[in-house]
A and B are shown apart, each in its own frame.
Chain A
Amino acid sequence: MGRRKLEDDDDNNNSKEFKSKNLQAERRRRQKLSDRLLTLRSLVPIITNMNKATIIDDAITYIQELQKTSQVLSEQLLEMEGSSEESVMPMKLEIAVAQHDMKKCGIKEEVKVSNIDGNKFLIKIIVEKKRGCFTQLIEAMNYLGFELSETNVTTFSGAMLFSSCVHGKYGDTLMVEHIEELLSEMMRSMKTSSQSAIELGNTN
């Protein structure tokens, strides 16, 4: 592979058969490799001989073994999940909790849009925290043709604050009020859709 070149320590070497351009680097490289092999050896509970080839071999075997174990365990977990008697906290419970918290802290739902520059807007939305509301928000943004440059989402007391600096992907510049209107409408539809989902759940 590599042709080595020797350093000329002494006088001019006439027969330049093998030369190592940088002996130190080569030594360090080899040292690095052997150190790592040593670490690998220490990790693997091998049973066979301690030489380079078998280290690699045993590492391969060990990895396969570990993969198999983890697969077995995860399947077991899946089975248990299927047959589990526990159920995830139902949505209505969550929502009830959220609404209660929000009211307690006096947080109101809000949509605020400000124009920064040309096609750039700063959007701030406070909404009741529900499962999947973030996804819905992002979908809304997408629908409006906004590209999110910086996004910040935080939750507190059952409310979610979404704040993002967006800019319109498409050419036409939207008016601030227009955007606010659209967003409020979307949030309302989100709410109603979730309500209907809850009702569906109730009937079941």
Chain B
Amino acid sequence: MKVYEESGCFDPHSLTDCQELMGLPGATPTNCHNSLEDTLTVSSYNHHHHEDASAALDMEPQQHYLLDNTTNSHSHLIPYLTQDLPYDQSHWERFNVVPSSSSPEAATAAAAAAGAYTPTPDLLSLFHLPRCSFLPNPSISFETTPGSPSVVYDPLFHLNLPPQPPVFRELLQSLPHGYTVPADDKDAAGVGGLYHDGDNGIIQFTRDISMAGRAKDRDKAGKTTKHFATERERRVHLNDKYQALRTMVPSPTKNDRASIVDDAIKYIKELLGTVRELKILVDKKRCGQERSKRLKTEDAASAADAGDVECKPLGDPDQCYNTSLRSSWLQRKSKDSEVDVRIVDDEVTIKLVQRKKINCLLFVSRLLDELQLDLQHVAGGNIGDYYSFLFNTKIYEGSSVYACAIANKLIDVVDRQYAAAPPTSSTSL
């Protein structure tokens, strides 16, 4: 209250003083229009004082005073002032309501003031400002050095930064709790409002967040405790979903949300590739079967040797046009091993990296025999702590292995052997 007294502007008992200070005559509504320029400049000055004043004080009583003491000369101040300060939406509504209910002069004055503000872009956006941020806790300290010529606030208002977030952040910085979204924040959230996810300490300015809230979140009547409870539930629920997603992925890495989503993306792409590959294989096989059946009947008819059937007779008129080249690529990672399998048509390239402990070559080659892969080329050896090998193989005719199977089996075998082998002391070379 002291500050107000000093400024002499909002002393409810001496509004006339204020008038004198501003140098305005007891203006009629019409006068307001004309003297708008003056009032604007003066009011900005007053506003600054007001800012300082409000810095440490609860705004409500002042607002109330203003309401009750709406005079012609001051009415234009009211909308201007209320725009700049982060009032609770209810207060703002009260203001909106009040001019109409109070003297018609005040109403027209306010309307005139509102209308008159349109040419000035600065102030117009100030109109919007309150709609975007509503804080239930009106006691906001702006942490300005009181008594300064309020240079601090000039940039805020007169620059009228389109990004509301910075303003919000400054407003939030003094909030005691993290939960500042008031109950009736539907509109604000829709405009792109503020949302605080207190668990992770994140402020997010997305529409999605508001829509993501469950129905009961939005219908809440503003009880902070109820809001807290459902908000926590929602977060827990969401975290559970992330964990569930993580379990589905074959080789999950880090446990943070971005990595989980990343792994999921890679896995989905891999699955799509596997499905495509399998479809191609099934088609090929079906074609091959049909062809062989046809050949057999033909051969039998022609009394030729109908024994082992060659897979690709040339010049077959009904040959399935299976010209789709099968290609797939997979990676599997485990704690100590890494497997990379690429298949192009019938050539399989396998890269294996494993921490040096066992002679993995033996197990791998056994597995390759099992999978009916013909070794063409092998290269690799000891690199630091690891074994690294590259295998170029060819799929034997008639076998239909697919990348996923190879990769999975390989990493499985290698890991099992690695685990089974007793920990050996590193042999000195």
A172 interface residue, CB < 8 Å from B? no
Bound-state CA distance A186–B182 (Å) is 83
Q: A73 with B362: in contact, given A43-B269, A134-B375 (CB under 8 Å)?
A: no
In chain B, positions 101-159 with a C-beta closer than 8 Å to chain A are 141, 143, 145, 152
Q: A135 with B369: in contact, given A43-B269, A56-B241, A148-B361 (CB under 8 Å)?
A: yes
- Find the B residue at minimum CB distance from A119: B429
Bound-state CA distance A11–B146 (Å) is 13
A138 interface residue, CB < 8 Å from B? yes
Q: A77 with B244: in contact, given A30-B202, A152-B378 (CB under 8 Å)?
A: no
Bound-state CA distance A32–B258 (Å) is 7
Q: Name which of B67-75, B78-86, B222-230, B391-399 contacts chain A.
A: B391-399
In chain B, positions 403-423 with a C-beta closer than 8 Å to chain A are 404-405
Q: Name which of A57-65, A100-108, A175-183 contacts chain B.
A: A57-65
B268 interface residue, CB < 8 Å from A? yes
Chain B interface, number of residues (Cβ within 8 angstroms): 83
CB-defined contacts of B200 to chain A, threshold 8 Å: 1-2
Chain A interface, number of residues (Cβ within 8 angstroms): 73
Q: Tell me which of B209, B267, B288, B372 contacts A88 (CB under 8 A).
A: B372
Q: Check if B288 sits within 8 Å of A86, measured CB to CB.
A: yes
Q: Tell me which of A59, A80, A153 contacts B264 (CB under 8 A).
A: A59
Q: Check if A43 sits within 8 Å of B265, measured CB to CB.
A: yes
Distance in Å: Cβ of B272 to nearest Cβ of chain A: 7
Q: Check if B208 sits within 8 Å of A153, measured CB to CB.
A: no
B90 interface residue, CB < 8 Å from A? no
Q: Which 3 A-B pairs have the closest CB atoms?
A: A150-B381, A73-B278, A153-B378
Interface pairs (5), CB distance under 8 Å: A40-B261, A49-B211, A63-B268, A73-B275, A155-B377
Query: A-side interface residues toward B, CB under 8 Å?
Result: 1-4, 6, 10-11, 13-15, 17-18, 26, 29-30, 32-34, 36-37, 39-40, 43-44, 49-53, 56-57, 59-60, 62-64, 66-67, 69-70, 73-74, 76-77, 80-81, 84-90, 120, 131-132, 134-135, 138-139, 142, 147-155, 165, 167, 169
- Known: A18-B172, A80-B285, A90-B308; 5 extra A-B contacts, CB below 8 A, are A37-B261, A40-B261, A56-B245, A86-B289, A86-B397
